[in-house]
Structure 1
Amino acid sequence: MEKEQGKADSTCIHKALAELKKVQDFINQADIPYFGKMFSKLVGVDTIPFSLYTEDGKLTFTGVDKDPCGTAASFKTSYFRIEDLDGKSGCATISLLRPLCICGKNDHSCCKILVLKRTDTCVKVDVTCICAIQCIDIDLLKRKIIIEPKW
């Protein structure tokens, strides 16, 4: 019975990820007659961020990205973007979104995150190991840090 329930849960997760991918692709590829690709400009993002949960809690990966100085910096994240979904293998390819706080440092705490930055780091995940998915506010991808001079 547990095996059947797990399969049903993974099917629901697979369907949810497929819907996210469909909406994300629509945002990026919708070519509306007379207005072109206006929809993606209105939304202002090309990513729908989300978190995944296993029986052990929030799924977390470590990735590498370049910092503003151009040097490689490692980061830890639980925030992802769907890149591809394979119906046959039941695997999803997700890219890691790097969480940054106001001073530009890595910050894993959701309360302190100011911006989520898209990276090129991708991971393949077995959807049968996932029990829940949570969408994250897209405003975390659009925020600009504006610091005015003190004087």
Structure 2
Amino acid sequence: MGCGKKDDVLGVSRDNCVCEVVRAIKDIQDAAEDVCECPTNCFQEPLGSLVNPTKRNRVDTRVFTLKTADGSPFHAFFRDDKCACVSIFFRVEEVFDNCCATLRVIKPVKHDGEAVDLTKGGKIDLGAVCEVDRFERTDDCVTVDLSCFCAIQCIADVDLDICED
């Protein structure tokens, strides 16, 4: 099944492959963690209950990137102490309504601890991706329709101290 196609060669309707991969990543993460919720999830109730999760020590995240129909990396903003930044790296928090997902934006970090600036001239600078040495969690999430993406690439399994013990 290729990008944008709803049927396979036999004319049988299939789910979007990116949806299936993100669901599988969520299942893998769930098997390795206790109770986890994105602190900025728009569906968090009651109003005012957005809090930071407690830290723990073990791998809890599969970092991945998504590509749009034109092949460019999907990006989202995250807040940093020093600036509003852009990332192409994500962690799945929830999959719902068949092919929608809440994704946590993951901060790309250099060896010196500074965030990697992935932009140049208002566009994603793929050369800057080579500067990424590790990842850190953010409290920023984005809700997406996974059927809008044509590719997903898993980058690393890391501990971002996302979950409670």
Contact kept? 1:52, 1:130, Cα under 8 Å = yes
TM-score by length of 2: 0.64
| Residue 65 of structure 2: aligned partner | 51
Q: CA deviation at 1:48?
A: 0.7
**Alignment partners' CA distance in 1, 2:32 and 2:159:** 17
Opposite residue 45 of structure 1, the aligned amino acid is V
How many aligned residue pairs are there? 123
Q: CA deviation at 1:59?
A: 0.5
Contact kept? 2:62, 2:158, Cα under 8 Å = no
**Deviation readout 1:88-144 (Å, 9 max, x if unpaired):** 4x21100000011122222132211112101110000111111111001225969xx
Higher relative contact order (CA 8 A, sep 6+): 2
Paired residue secondary structure (1:17)? helix
Contact kept? 1:52, 1:133, Cα under 8 Å = yes
Q: Percent identity?
A: 30
| Residue 127 of structure 1: aligned partner | 146
Aligned equivalent of 2:22, options 14, 17, 22:
17
Please tell me whether Structure 1 or Structure 2 has the larger radius of gyration of its CA atoms: 1
**Alignment partners' CA distance in 2, 1:21 and 1:139:** 14
Opposite residue 144 of structure 2, the aligned amino acid is V
Paired residue secondary structure (1:111)? helix
- The verdict on how the C-alpha distance between 1:99 and 1:92 changes in structure 2, with shifts beyond 3 A counting, is same
> What are structure 1's unaligned runs of at least 5 residues?
30-39, 68-72, 143-151
TM-score by length of 1: 0.70
Counterparts of 1:1-151 in structure 2 under 5 Å?
A: 4-5=6-7, 8=14, 11-29=16-34, 44-56=58-70, 57-66=72-81, 73-88=83-98, 90-107=99-116, 108=118, 109-138=128-157
Paired residue secondary structure (2:62)? coil
Contact kept? 2:25, 2:92, Cα under 8 Å = yes
More helix by share: 1
RMSD: 2.6
